């Protein structure tokens, strides 16, 4: 495992919350401390909740088995997808913006067998603007994380990915299949908010809200501890994510010089949306 790091700031802005999440946060008053879901506090919560989730792993590994060469993983987080790709025997360069998320991944690698660890390079960087001195058989951007970028950021992402794909290489990225989602929530009592209760691997409890008005450009995820502590500050982790349809991404990718992506269905993410894995390559 080799590492290159440079400081990159993550912000923790107070989001405008409605519904049950808004009520829960308002009831806490001045005890609330908003956190970005990927900062030094949020990264631990994220990893506890989602770090070992197997969503999209089987499909991703299935596609990678058909490809050769090293893998570049973007927005690698705490390694939810990195570790299975390493276990498949691949060389993986894992690029991630948040130093805190990378720190958790580094710890996981340090605890892993040397043969696996030695096939991984960790890089702190921005997926919308990176320049590495090698090319890859596959570039992977999972967990619908393309939707963390705005339109200008995606233009930078596509340019950088094209420049790093080896001949015949593939770009694999997942996104929310908004059409399916709208159909699923059409009859729901409250189509704008889903609340879930989790007991994580650590034994800690969490209450998670996902707020999204069908048709809106963004969705907001809010995580609170459950039960709430009796006194003292309460960390409320949030992240705002764009909602990018496969059709929009297809249009953007083709305009950026990629082939029309093949769509691979992904199983239900367990919240309220279905995701799809897009597979594309550089157009001839």
Ligand X SMILES: C[S@@+](CC[C@H](N)C(=O)[O-])C[C@H]1O[C@@H](n2cnc3c(N)ncnc32)[C@H](O)[C@@H]1O
What is the smallest separation between the CB atom of 214 and ligand X, expressed in angstroms? 21
Give yes or no for residue 238 binding ligand X (CB under 6 A).
Answer: no
User: Nearest to ligand X by Cβ — which residue?
Assistant: 77
Binding of ligand X at residue 123 (CB under 6 A)? no
Phi-psi map region of 159: left, alpha, beta (phi>0 left; psi -120 to 50 alpha) = alpha
Q: How far is the CB of 75 from ligand X (least distance, A)?
A: 3
Q: Are strands 193-199 and 165-176 parallel, antiparallel or unpaired?
A: unpaired
CB of 60 to ligand X, least distance (A): 10
Does 142 bind ligand X (CB under 6 A)? Our answer is yes
Pairing state between β 92-96 and 71-74: parallel
Residues within window 58-117 making contact with ligand X, judged by CB under 6 A: 75-77, 80-81, 96-98, 101
CB of 145 to ligand X, least distance (A): 4
Q: How far is the CB of 71 from ligand X (least distance, A)?
A: 13
By CB under 6 A, is residue 50 in contact with ligand X? yes
How many whole angstroms separate alpha carbon 282 and alpha carbon 284? Answer: 6
Within 8 A by CB and 6+ apart from 190, the residues are 19
Facing residues of 221 across strands? 210, 239
Using CB under 6 A as the binding rule, whether residue 198 contacts ligand X is answered as: no
Burial class of 176 by CB neighbour count within 10 A (0 to 12, 13 to 18, 19+)? buried
Residue 137 or 142 with smaller CB distance to ligand X = 142
Least Å distance, CB 241 to ligand X, is: 8
Q: Looking at beta carbons only, is 50 or 248 nearer to ligand X?
A: 50
**Binding test (CB under 6 A) with ligand X, winner from 127, 173, 223, 277:** 127
Q: What's the CA gap between 256 and 283, in Å, rounded?
A: 9
Label each residue of 127-162 as H, E or C. CCECCCCCCEEEEEECCCHHHHCCHHHHHHHHHHHH
Count CA atoms within 13 Å of residue 230 on its CB side.
0
108 or 207: whose CB is closer to ligand X?
108
Q: Which residues pair with 96 in a beta bridge?
A: 124
Q: State which of residues 72, 148, 243, 277 lies at the interface with ligand X (CB under 6 A).
A: 148
Which positions from 6 through 45 interact with ligand X, judged by CB under 6 A?
38
| Total of chain residues touching ligand X, rule CB under 6 A | 18
Rounded Cα distance between 192 and 213, Å, is 5
Task: Find the shortest distance in angstroms from Cβ 260 to ligand X.
Answer: 25
Chain residues binding ligand X by CB under 6 A are: 38, 50, 75-77, 80-81, 96-98, 101, 126-128, 142-143, 145, 148
């Amino acid at each position: 495992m080799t590492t290159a790091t440079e400081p990159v700031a993550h912000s923790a802005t107070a989001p405008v919350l409605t519904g049950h999440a808004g009520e829960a946060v308002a009831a806490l008053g001045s005890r609330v401390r908003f956190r970005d879901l990927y900062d030094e506090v949020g990264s631990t919560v994220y990893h506890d909740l989602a770090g070992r989730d197997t969503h999209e792993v089987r499909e991703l590994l299935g596609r990678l088995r058909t490809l050769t060469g090293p893998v570049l993983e973007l927005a690698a987080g705490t390694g939810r997808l990195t570790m299975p790709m390493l276990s498949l025997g691949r060389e993986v360069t894992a690029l991630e913006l948040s130093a805190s998320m990378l720190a958790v991944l580094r710890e996981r690698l340090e605890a892993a067998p040397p043969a696996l660890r030695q096939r991984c390079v960790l890089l702190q960087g921005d997926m919308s603007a990176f320049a590495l001195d090698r090319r890859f058989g596959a570039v992977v951007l999972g967990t619908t994380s393309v939707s963390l970028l705005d339109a200008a950021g995606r233009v930078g992402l596509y340019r950088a990915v094209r420049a790093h794909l080896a001949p015949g290489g593939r770009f694999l990225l997942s996104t929310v299949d908004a059409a399916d989602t709208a159909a699923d929530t059409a009859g729901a009592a409250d189509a704008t908010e889903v609340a879930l209760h989790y007991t994580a691997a650590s034994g800690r409890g969490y209450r998670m809200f996902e707020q999204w008005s069908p048709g809106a450009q963004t969705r907001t995820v809010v995580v609170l501890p459950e039960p709430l502590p009796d006194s003292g500050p309460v960390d409320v982790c949030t992240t705002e994510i764009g909602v990018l349809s496969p059709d929009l991404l297809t249009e953007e990718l083709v305009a950026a010089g990629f082939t029309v992506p093949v769509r691979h269905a992904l199983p239900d993410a367990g919240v309220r949306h279905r995701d799809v894995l897009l597979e594309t390559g550089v157009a001839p």
